[in-house]
Amino acid sequence: MLDPLKISEYARALYRAHGNKAEAEAASRLRQSEQTGNQDEAENWRRIRQAISQLRGPGQA
C-alpha cells in the first residue's frame, strides 16, 4: 500500500492531467483493480480518489 505522501502525489498528478475527470479516472482504475482481485491496488485507488475529492473542494462533486 502506498504511503500518504505518494497518495497525495498521485492525486495531484492525476488532477493536473485529467482536471475534473480525475476522480472518475481514479474510480475506473479502482473498479479494474477490484475486478482483477488486487485489493492492495484497489485500496490505493480508493485513497487516491478520496484525495482528489479533497483537492477539488466542496461543491465540486
**Overall average pLDDT of the 34-54 stretch:** 98
Sequence spans of domains, the chain:
4-56
**Overall average pLDDT of the 19-37 stretch:** 98
Contacts of 42 (CB under 8 A, 6+ apart): 30, 33, 34
**Overall average pLDDT of the 29-36 stretch:** 98
**Whether residue 41 has pLDDT greater than 80:** yes
